[in-house]
Structure 1
Amino acid sequence: MKRHFITVMAAALMAVSAPIAQAQEISLGRFFGACENAGVDTKASVGEPCIIQSIINAYSGADNGVTVETLPTDWGNYYDQIKAAYAGGTAPDVHVLHRSRLAEFASLGALADLTGDLAAAGIDTSDWADKALEGVTFDNKVYGVPMDFHANLWHVNMDIMEQAGLVKDGKPVLPSSPEELLAHAKQVKEKTGKDYLTADFAQFPIGVRLVMALVWQQGSNVFSDGEATVNTTEAKAAVETITQLFDNGLANPKLNYADSEKGFLNGDAAILVNGTWVVDSYTAQAANSESALSNYYVADFPTLFSQGATWADSHMWGIPASVKANSPEKYKAALGFLAFLNDSNVDWARTGHMSVRKSVLASAEYAALPHRDEYTGTADIAADAPASENYGAIQDAMNRELQAIWLTGKDVEAALADAEEEIQEQLDN
């Protein structure tokens, strides 16, 4: 299947485009969700879908001769759809992707090499944080414009924590070991009747990212140097740190993304493990007098083992190689859009994501964003698995086996052994 994808993609990259008119229309592929009411005010929108769409609308509505057609897709199916579009020769002129997926697309020659074209487009790569530049670089070439760093955080209902006696000096008291995690969870249940922790354990790989963070906190990883290292004492300890909550009725493993989020916003759990991308949305919810979440706090992922770590990734924007090769004016228009996105980095950071630009990180506007001072330590503990062309398949394998543990009762060691075997096959291929 992969060989077929490579062959068809190669043919698509060589396809000849139709003649180019002076006015340009570029198609844009993204996830983040739809927002039908987004205007062009990038300072007024709230939440990922509307903030990104307002930025797109602002560029499309400017007097630059470029119209942007947004092709929103569902996050869960995005990479299947974008691969199918490349294989069919219908890839959008510019599209979003994660740092963790860059190796897969760049290694196939799908993405345009932007290295020599960014300065002329008005993009100063020296203003990017070192990790941001590293994240868009493959084989010493720049294939994207970074948009953020995003990571898992602990979103906290301070009213529940206060009722449970887990607030000190206005901050939540978070656990520092697996044993303390269980003790805190029992304390919340006994004092409030609420679950301690909720997250999407049954749908998207939020649970995978949680477990991997605990593996990294022990100085281990799920693979490195082409070798899968999943069936380890560290991975078992990480999994059992979470399953102890399920086994004691202190967290629900059957919740998907929407239900776990709904439960937290409805005041059914003290902690939600989710990403930076919801901070401004939850802040807006907490400001609503009718919301059950009225006292909201954002915390760095706590260190339960020997060293700090939380799952992190970044969003970036790339342009297909076929656009650069066959449509110079369209390529110029797409680069102009990437420059506008880069200039709008502080607006995107309003979501809760961390900025990738040094000048934005040092600005008063960025520092004034809600809750920003509560998770400043996240940048220092951000981590992820090594880059791999098969990252998506590896993550899927982990997700299946972990869900088998907490949804079907599969033995932990058996699940980790099966995951290791499947991941090794991916690495060997």
Structure 2
Amino acid sequence: MNLTRRGLIGAGGVMLLAACSDGGPNEKVTGGGQNAAPAATEYTGPNVALAFWNGFTGGDGPFMKKLVDQFNTEHPNIKVSMNTYQWADYYQKVPAAVATGNGPDVGIMHVDHVATNAARGVILPLEDLSKALNLTADDFSPPVWNAGIYNNTRYAIPLDVHPLGFFYNKAVMEKAGLDPDKPPTNNDEYQAALEAMKGKGIQGDWVTPFEFTGSMQFQSLLWQFGGQLFDDGATKAMFAEQAGVQALTWMTDHVKNGYSPKNVAQDADIIALRNGKNAFNWNGIWTINTLKEDKNLQWGVSALPQIGTQKAAWAGSHNFVQFKQKTKDDNKLTAGKVFINWISQHSIEWARGGQVPARKEIRDSADFKALPEQSAIGTQIDYLHFLPPKPGIADVMATVVTSINEAVLGRKDPAKALSDGAAKADQLLEQNAKKYGS
């Protein structure tokens, strides 16, 4: 899973969703509705073939393929075939395929796409599966579990979470006289470390104006300062209020005070860390396996430092979904649920691919604790934040990215950039409410 490809998971494909609904934009799919089938923990029916689509085209793909192969070996009456696409292509192909009756049976969706696809009838409720397996928030984590609910109905079962972590170059820290085994944990320590590196001619923490990873850093800081992206109903933007200004000012001050260069290019921040040009980088858990490729690199990773008044971190999440069928097939639906449950229970192998398993029993296992980098980032599980389950929310988030870009590049001050972005976000939220009927 590389960084630039992950940059495609945002708004790509949303515009084609309208083609996937049998009804109009206000069509609702509720628990136990069309295509629903009783959930089961085992499948005893006739041989069935399942198409499983996802976007795991990077280094994580082989880990999922290994799990699928193992599942097929243990379930001779279920044959799962895995197809992978670039995420941007995936979010276009899936709705179109479902609309023509040629869609996959089971798939993966980022949590911020679940509500949109639920509203358009592309995916099916999974309430029966969670109830049959007696799954609750305690089996996962409340923020992770609740992220898969739209209109009081569950549409997704979480596979993993992929939060931001705090990566640091130990050799660069040592060069500045810092303890390489004690990364900063709060703002005072952070500022002191940046000053120490500046004194040695090192710009220690490069701020990027792009979604990866500037927007994710901003969101983490926003929540740490007690703010929110949107109000509770996701009807109004809140990111331009005081907490948002504090968060974005903290970032732009890096450039102003010489801790970061101006005009940092996409991915240049993590490249600089790998090349010994900077010491600190807020980046996703997927960076673990990237850094492990540098055999001579001395690096570490921890939970994000608490810059604001509370702990918080941005996170994404891959979720299992089932797709609407042209003709209902209870065997496929039941077998798909068995597959989802089995992969969830065996997700320690997925963790080795660079993820934090959503399932608590896997996170608490000795096998997961034996993965020190994933475990360090996983300690943030109970104070992770996700986008609200609102149809079209990925499109709205483009206004946040634009605001950060304008401020970090010095084109607007943080308050002005955020205010302008929030005004555009409010317009999009209103349009989406009419478009999706929510």
Q: TM-score range by the shorter chain?
A: 0.7 to 0.9
Aligned mates of 1:11, 1:91 — CA distance in 2? 18
Percent identity of equivalent pairs: 22
In the alignment, residue 372 of structure 2 is paired with which amino acid?
A: P
Structure 1 position 373, deviation (Å): 5.2
Matched, 1:128 2:139: yes
Aligned mates of 2:406, 2:93 — CA distance in 1? 26
Judged with a 3 Å threshold, the aligned counterparts in structure 2 of structure 1 residues 2 and 241 are, in CA distance, closer, same or farther, namely closer
Aligned mates of 2:97, 2:272 — CA distance in 1? 36
Judged with a 3 Å threshold, the aligned counterparts in structure 2 of structure 1 residues 91 and 363 are, in CA distance, closer, same or farther, namely same
Judge conservation of contact 1:276–1:351 (CA < 8 Å) in 2: no
- The correspondence of residues 227-242 of structure 1 with structure 2, limited to 5 A, is 227-242=236-251
- The correspondence of residues 357-376 of structure 1 with structure 2, limited to 5 A, is 357-372=359-374, 374-375=376-377
Aligned mates of 2:62, 2:208 — CA distance in 1? 23
Q: Give per-residue Cα distances to partners, 1:248-267, cap 9 Å, x unaligned.
A: 4433543223x443332233
Aligned mates of 1:67, 1:196 — CA distance in 2? 51
Judge conservation of contact 1:113–1:321 (CA < 8 Å) in 2: no
Matched, 1:210 2:217: yes
Structure 1 position 317, deviation (Å): 0.7
Aligned mates of 1:214, 1:114 — CA distance in 2? 33
- From 81, 85, 93, the counterpart of 1:69: 81
TM-score w.r.t. the length of structure 1 is 0.81
Matched, 1:255 2:262: no
In the alignment, residue 349 of structure 1 is paired with which amino acid?
A: A
Helix, strand or coil at the partner of 1:10: coil
Judged with a 3 Å threshold, the aligned counterparts in structure 2 of structure 1 residues 173 and 384 are, in CA distance, closer, same or farther, namely same
Aligned mates of 1:2, 1:76 — CA distance in 2? 10
Question: What residue is the counterpart of 2:322 in the other structure?
Answer: 319
- From 221, 230, 233, the counterpart of 1:223: 230
In the alignment, residue 370 of structure 1 is paired with which amino acid?
A: P
Judged with a 3 Å threshold, the aligned counterparts in structure 2 of structure 1 residues 388 and 62 are, in CA distance, closer, same or farther, namely same
Aligned mates of 2:16, 2:56 — CA distance in 1? 29
Aligned mates of 2:302, 2:424 — CA distance in 1? 34
Helix, strand or coil at the partner of 1:256: coil
Question: What residue is the counterpart of 2:154 in the other structure?
Answer: 142
Judged with a 3 Å threshold, the aligned counterparts in structure 2 of structure 1 residues 2 and 199 are, in CA distance, closer, same or farther, namely closer
Judge conservation of contact 1:149–1:353 (CA < 8 Å) in 2: yes
Matched, 1:190 2:192: no
Question: What residue is the counterpart of 2:176 in the other structure?
Answer: 164
Structure 1 position 130, deviation (Å): 4.2
Aligned mates of 2:306, 2:378 — CA distance in 1? 15
Q: Give per-residue Cα distances to partners, 1:144-182, cap 9 Å, x unaligned.
A: 2211122111111112112212227x32234425xx645
Unaligned 5+ segments in structure 2 are 1-12, 36-44, 434-438
Helix, strand or coil at the partner of 1:307: coil
Structure 1 position 67, deviation (Å): 3.6
In the alignment, residue 312 of structure 1 is paired with which amino acid?
A: A
Q: Give per-residue Cα distances to partners, 1:360-394, cap 9 Å, x unaligned.
A: 23322222222355445412432234332222012
Judge conservation of contact 1:308–1:381 (CA < 8 Å) in 2: yes
Judge conservation of contact 2:208–2:408 (CA < 8 Å) in 1: no
Helix, strand or coil at the partner of 1:171: coil
Question: What residue is the counterpart of 1:152 in the other structure?
Answer: 164
Helix, strand or coil at the partner of 2:325: helix
